[in-house]
Amino acid sequence: MIHGRPLLNPKYEIFAREYAQHFSPQKAAIASGSKPTGAARQGDRLLKRSDVRKRIDELLNIDDNYYDLLKRRTVSELAAGAFYDVHEFYDLKKLELKQVSHIDGRLIQDIRKNRDGSFSVKLIDKIKCLELIGKHLGMFQDKLDVTTGGESLQVIVNSDKVAGALDAAANE
């Protein structure tokens, strides 16, 4: 759903929407009715219009809000899978489901009917959900990030402390 006040000129509105989606002035100009031969020039002209530029900024801001919402919802879904307690609906001593009024459907990955008429329920993978949340939060590092504080690597290697340590190690 597109929010905000659309531009009065429908062609400008189409251009703004297309540009906000693809970031190509030429494609946006063609979509708004320009001939392909002059679309690049027309796209550049339309990008210079303040009303068109303002509308594009408005549309991009809406998209940012949508993606922020989507990210929050994704993390919420992962958290539901990562932090559920199987004891809430399964009796591990009796090895059977408890009589509960509600089981969060987000926790169920698969339900199958067995030949004997019973059902098998497969829950989502807690460890995978925890892993994805941990990666999102930056808790795990797959690579070691080595920085030099803005100095070139040659300057650090040639520093007095490193050179002295290298000399001492060579003399041992």
| pLDDT, tens digit (0-9, with 9 covering 90-100), for 111-165 | 899 999 988 888 899 999 999 988 888 887 666 556 666 665 555 545 556 566 6
Report the distance separating Cα 70 and Cα 76, nearest Å. Answer: 10
What is this structure's pTM?
Answer: 0.46
Q: Which of the listed residues 25, 52, 72 is the one where a domain comes to its end?
A: 72
Q: Are 61 and 87 found together in one domain?
A: no
What the block records as the tokens of 129 is: 């959900």
Domain presence at residue 64 = yes
User: Which residues span the domain enclosing 38?
Assistant: 10-72
Q: What is the number of domains present in the chain? A: 2
For 39-65, the pLDDT digits (tens) are 889 999 999 999 999 898 888 887 677
Residue 52, class by beta-carbon neighbours within 10 Å (0-12 exposed, 13-18 middle, 19+ buried)? buried
